[in-house]
Amino acid sequence: MPKLPPGVAALIRLAPYFAVPLVVVYGTNVGGYSLPWDRLILAAIFSAPSVYKITVYSQRRKDVGAAGALGAQAIPNIPEGSLAIIQHAGKALRVGYPGLFDEYFAKYGNIFGVRIFTDTRIFTIEPEHVKAILTTQFDVFDKGADIRWHMESMLGSGIFNADGELWKFHRALTRPFFSRDRVSDLENFLSHTEAALNLAESHIAKGYAFDAQDLASRYTLDCSTQFLFGKDIQTLSAGLEHPSTSSQSTPAEYTTHPSNPFMKALTEGLWLSANRARLGPLWPLTEFRRDEVGLRRGVVDAYIEPILLEALAARKGEKDEDGDDETLLQSLCRQTQDIALIKDEIVNLLVAGRDSTASLITYSIYMLAENPNIAERLQTEIIDRMGQKGQPTSVDIRELKYLRAFLDEVLRLYPPVPYGSREANKSTLWPSATPGDKPFHIPAESRILFSPWYMHRRTDLWGPDAHTFDPDRFLDERLHKYLTPNPYIFVPFNAGPRTCIGQQFAYHMASCFLIKLLQRFTNFRLAREAQPEASRPPADWAHSQAPRKAQEKVWPAMHIVLYIKGGLWVKMDEAKQIDED
């Protein structure tokens, strides 16, 4: 049976609310009331909002009563209405900074509730609450039906959109492929780094700026597909776009490359999915006639389907046993013939492998350009250990302490996933951060949003210099003062049972890229003249009370994953070769 368009399905779900006016009209006629038609129409129109108001009020009273019965306090709700909150979040998502709720946290504190129509949403940036969500009360908090509804068109039932036994199945299936031995095999990363940096070098030789974000996305996608499929999809072979300031147009091999529609669909699908989450129950009305996210997922599927069918065909006649050289795709094909399930899992892992690590690399290059002294120190550490031509090993990566501190500092200020979300499957209690206060009551079915973006920048958690980019905070006494006693202030990869399985994969991929980058290039700088004008930070950011926002030279933006609006256009110089004989 074909699926109904999202808008039509939503109207069916909302039918009880639409039916109220009809019942009012019918009831007045049957009861013999002789109200004038104009009053009857007004009564019908306002009856549905009245039912909504009564529902919200009664739910709030129920929450307060339940909290009191447990000796707890209800989450304080902000007074802003649903439409005002949706409008604010929408504007921030389109044209604002990823700190969507600066004014709310400043005004209402580190935990507050909002009502999005009949939904309860609780925002928190308290480490103890994040610890409860991710670890100590893990069984209480699921991804939840709402997130699955928002993300299903893009992620299906893959690992990042699953709960319960299905999630455990996905986790057990994929985790062995991200073991330390597998991610420590650096040949994949190094060969693709070489190809990526050769593209950068060709632009540098012509005096052109290039988009480091596009380069990082292609690099991470090729690495990820090589790792998952045993063959890459060669997005780097497209080359790079020329800046708008160039006298030459971008080559046709870039503009017509078959990977471009795939990459575009992946990005647009994530943005539209994030927009669904922002709109809450209203999102189907913006996709009334057709599933816009599903259309993008169709483009993605069409690109990866030939690889999947080839793997399935290769499975026929093979013995049903695994091996050390088996890819994740081969393992999936060995364990199930469910093509939809396999495609869902592949897309989930591609999103994580491409977008999250590309975000880390992109913001790393941004910080190299903004902090030349740090770039020089990092370069010195790398060259002192392996020279300008040495190939790194997993041991080298482990011993490059400042490199790891640099990556962690990038992850602190620019976490690839700035916001996380869960749903309470039953009521529970959270401690208050204020000594002596009653605990907070979390009602069942509450949607919880927590934010590494905000937690990672709190001066009371990280010290007065929390807004300053300083990798040494992961090496000096600040590490033991702030992070060691309170590890949940730093959760770029989540924590607990749902800790990102690709964490070490991301660290190794980014480390290989930065090592080779710093062996070959120096004097990193932003090419602001090449940055598309519409993607330059608004002038009023310079007067922001948020310190990092006031300093930004690029426009941080997000769908589900953090990126830079308009790309990261940079220039750099080839490093002078040192005689190592």
Annotated binding site: which residue ranges?
500
Distance CA 275, CA 154 (A): 13
Alpha-carbon gap, residue 44 to 49, rounded angstroms: 10
- Smallest CA-to-CA distance from 457 within 324, 556, 361 is with 556
Question: Order of strands across the sheet with 119-124?
Answer: 111-116, 119-124, 447-450, 420-424, 141-142
- Residue 504 neighbours by CB under 8 Å, 6+ apart: 178, 180, 183
For the chain, the farthest-separated pair of C-alpha atoms sits apart, in whole angstroms, at 104
What is the C-alpha separation between 305 and 284, in angstroms, rounded? 28
With beta carbons less than 8 A apart as the criterion, state whether 199 and 240 touch: yes
Q: Do the strands 447-450 and 119-124 form a parallel or antiparallel pair, or are they unpaired?
A: parallel
Rounded CA-CA distance 455/127 in Å is 7
Residue 211 CA to residue 453 CA, distance in Å, equals: 24
Query: Following DSSP, what letter does each residue of 280-302 receive, concatenated?
Result: GGGGGGGGSSS-HHHHHHHHHHH
Mapped onto helix, strand or coil, the DSSP state of residue 325 is coil
Let me know: does 450 contact 420? Beta carbons within 8 Å.
Answer: yes
CA distance 170 to 162: 8
Angle CA 57–62–66, to nearest 5:
150
Q: What is the H or E stretch that residue 113 is in?
A: strand 111-116
The encoded tokens of residue 372 equal 């030349």
Residue ranges of the binding site for heme: 500
Spell out the SS3 assignment of 235-268.
Answer: HHHHCCCCCCCCCCCCCHHHHCCCHHHHHHHHHH
**Does the CA dihedral 511-516-522-525 come out positive or negative?**
negative
Buried residues in 552-563 as b, exposed as e (16+ CB within 10 A): bebbbbbbbbbb
Q: Closest Cα to residue 457, out of 412, 417, 487?
A: 412
**What value does the CA radius of gyration of the chain take, rounded to a whole number of Å?**
26
Residues contacting 183, CB < 8 A, separation 6+:
504, 505, 508
Q: Dihedral through CA 273, CA 7, CA 264, CA 147, nearest 10?
A: 20
Helices 328-335/292-315 angle, 10° precision? 80
Number of Cβ within a 10 Å radius of residue 54: 10
For residue 304, which of 352, 356, 339 has the smallest C-alpha distance?
339
Tokens coding 257: 């490359």
Which of 201, 182, 242, 226 has the alpha carbon at shortest distance from 516?
Answer: 201
